[in-house]
Amino acid sequence: MELLRFTTAGSVDDGKSTLIGRLMYDTKTIFEDQLEAVVTSSKKRGDENVNLALLTDGLRAEREQGITIDVAYRYFATPKRKFIIADTPGHIQYTRNMVTGASTANLAIILIDARKGIVEQTCRHSFIASLLRIQHVVLAVNKMDLVDYSEARFDEIVSAYKEFASRLQIPQMTFIPMSALNGDNVVEKSANMPWYQGAPLLYHLETVYVGSDANHVDARLPVQWVIRPQSNEWHDFRGFAGRIAGGVFKPGDDVMVLPSGFTSKIKGIHTADGELEEAFHPQSVAITLEDEIDISRGDMIVKPNNQPNVSQDIEAMICWFSEKQKLNPGGHYILQHTSREVKAKVTAVRYKVNVNTLHKIEDDLEIGLNEIGRVAFRTSAPLFHDSYRRNRITGSFVLVDPFTNNTVAAGMIR
């Protein structure tokens, strides 16, 4: 069984909670005691119907305000795949939540209300999906029951979306007309829309090909930890442990270690289950080398004929997360990139992006909560990086405020 991670985005009331509730209900992921609790609280709140949204609204503060305010993760499985949903709230100011949810997703479902068509938030959600390099986007045109299941209305929305999305980079787009409330084209094909030739949502989620989303070309192993057993049996064992961030490693491969530049050959690729013939993303392994080289956490094992960029000057798109402070031009931050941690100084703010229109803003360069902009940094030590476009792991970082220790921004390297 494979794993598919997806994120869901939509404006408030487009039917996101209903859709997730339905996916979980129809795949038998909702248990009796959970349903019971929801029935009880729906009654307490005076809701007319059982409010499936309560199933997914986890925390007390949210229940009180009736809105979801943070990314929540939900799970369901069918015989074909296991799914992890990063459920992000549609509330207007929470760009940061969608960015967070999108960072680990292979696929994004963007909901729209068929009556309203494409709205500002649809643009924002699509832009974020594209920025975070989500390879597969599903535009779920919901509430088709309220537009008489009209094929013309659906076509109109699809062509408007394609027109807009041509400015983005989304490799695969799928359009599905549905009614989350009634279940049309969610799990079962809709009898109300015989004109729709495509598959229902769940079938698409079960079969969409995600095998080539990860980078299997540029070999990268950020070293997390060095395994040095204190036992006689393993006396000389020095395993460089980490999760493969890209490419394929095999015993006998020539490798180079950054930052030292020393080269060696892979002696073995070790796991507790035995040695591997090859290792690729996202496997966690420990590599031993033919030569004794001094390697520690934060170093990166690569191949001599395929090296990442090594530099102290970084250009990146960042999304700002802190409500307490804005990005300080000239400010110092801690930058976490793979297993490496360096200091970073902001050297320039190039522009900001209006996430609703995709226009560049160059006359106001203050980056605050939920804003996205292009920023240049100078780091205290070189980073070994690829562009985010090429590799989501070696191309991403977070900024940490050295005084509060909070994560204040996410960055995608150009």
Ligand X SMILES: Nc1nc2c(ncn2[C@@H]2O[C@H](COP(=O)(O)OP(=O)(O)O)[C@@H](O)[C@H]2O)c(=O)[nH]1
E strands in 143-253 = 172-177, 220-222, 225-227, 239-243, 248-249
- For position 89 contacting another protein by CB under 8 A, the verdict is no
Size of the site for ligand X (CB under 6 A): 17
Minimum separation from the CB atom of position 33 to ligand X (A): 22
- For position 16 contacting ligand X by CB under 6 A, the verdict is yes
For ligand X, the binding residues in 105-144 under the rule CB under 6 A are 142-143
Interacting stretch for another protein, rule CB under 8 A, among 30-38, 121-129, 172-180, 198-206?
A: 30-38
- For position 277 contacting another protein by CB under 8 A, the verdict is no
**How many angstroms separate the CA atoms of 373 and 265, rounded?**
41
Interacting stretch for another protein, rule CB under 8 A, among 108-116, 186-194, 253-261, 270-278?
A: 270-278
Helix axes 120-131, 95-103, angle to 10 degrees: 40
**What does residue 139 show for φ and ψ, rounded to 5 degrees?**
-90, 110
- For position 60 contacting another protein by CB under 8 A, the verdict is yes
Nearer to another protein, 69 or 146 (CB): 69
Count of beta carbons in the 10 Å neighbourhood of residue 212: 9
Please pick, from the candidates 71, 78, 90, 124, the single residue that binds ligand X as defined by CB under 6 A.
90
Please pick, from the candidates 23, 53, 109, 400, the single residue that binds ligand X as defined by CB under 6 A.
53
The listed partner (ligand X, another protein, none) that binds 330, CB under 5 to 8 Å by sort, is none
Nearer to ligand X, 102 or 223 (CB): 102
**How many angstroms separate the CA atoms of 340 and 316, rounded?**
17
**How many angstroms separate the CA atoms of 129 and 134, rounded?**
5
H/E stretch holding 378: strand 372-385
Beta bridge partners of 4: 83
Beta bridge partners of 372: 319, 353
Helix, strand, or coil here: 280? strand
- For position 214 contacting another protein by CB under 8 A, the verdict is yes
Helix, strand, or coil here: 28? coil
DSSP 8-state class, residue 154? H
**How many angstroms separate the CA atoms of 336 and 407, rounded?**
10
- For position 3 contacting another protein by CB under 8 A, the verdict is yes
**How many angstroms separate the CA atoms of 381 and 311, rounded?**
8
Minimum separation from the CB atom of position 79 to another protein (A): 11
For ligand X, the binding residues in 162-191 under the rule CB under 6 A are 179-181
Residue ranges of alpha helices (H) inside 180-331 are 201-207
Query: In the complex, which residue's CB is closest to ligand X?
Result: 15
Please pick, from the candidates 230, 232, 330, 363, the single residue that binds another protein as defined by CB under 8 A.
230
Nearer to another protein, 185 or 379 (CB): 379
For another protein, the binding residues in 313-352 under the rule CB under 8 A are 321, 334, 336-339
Please pick, from the candidates 248, 293, 369, 376, the single residue that binds another protein as defined by CB under 8 A.
248
- For position 58 contacting another protein by CB under 8 A, the verdict is yes
For another protein, the binding residues in 130-189 under the rule CB under 8 A are none
Minimum separation from the CB atom of position 16 to ligand X (A): 3
Q: How far apart are the first and last CA of the chain?
A: 34
Minimum separation from the CB atom of position 57 to ligand X (A): 9
Strands 300-302, 248-249: pairing is unpaired
- For position 205 contacting another protein by CB under 8 A, the verdict is no
Q: In this structure, what is the dihedral angle of CA atoms 255, 257, 261, 263, given to the nearest 10 degrees?
A: -30
- For position 18 contacting ligand X by CB under 6 A, the verdict is yes
Taking 3-state DSSP, the helix, strand and coil percentages for the chain, each rounded to the nearest 5, stand at 20, 35, 45
Contact 237, 228 (CB under 8 A): yes
The listed partner (another protein, ligand X, none) that binds 142, CB under 5 to 8 Å by sort, is ligand X
Nearer to ligand X, 143 or 352 (CB): 143
The listed partner (another protein, ligand X, none) that binds 173, CB under 5 to 8 Å by sort, is none
H/E stretch holding 39: helix 32-45
Q: Which positions touch ligand X (CB under 6 A)?
A: 10, 12-18, 53, 90, 142-143, 145-146, 179-181
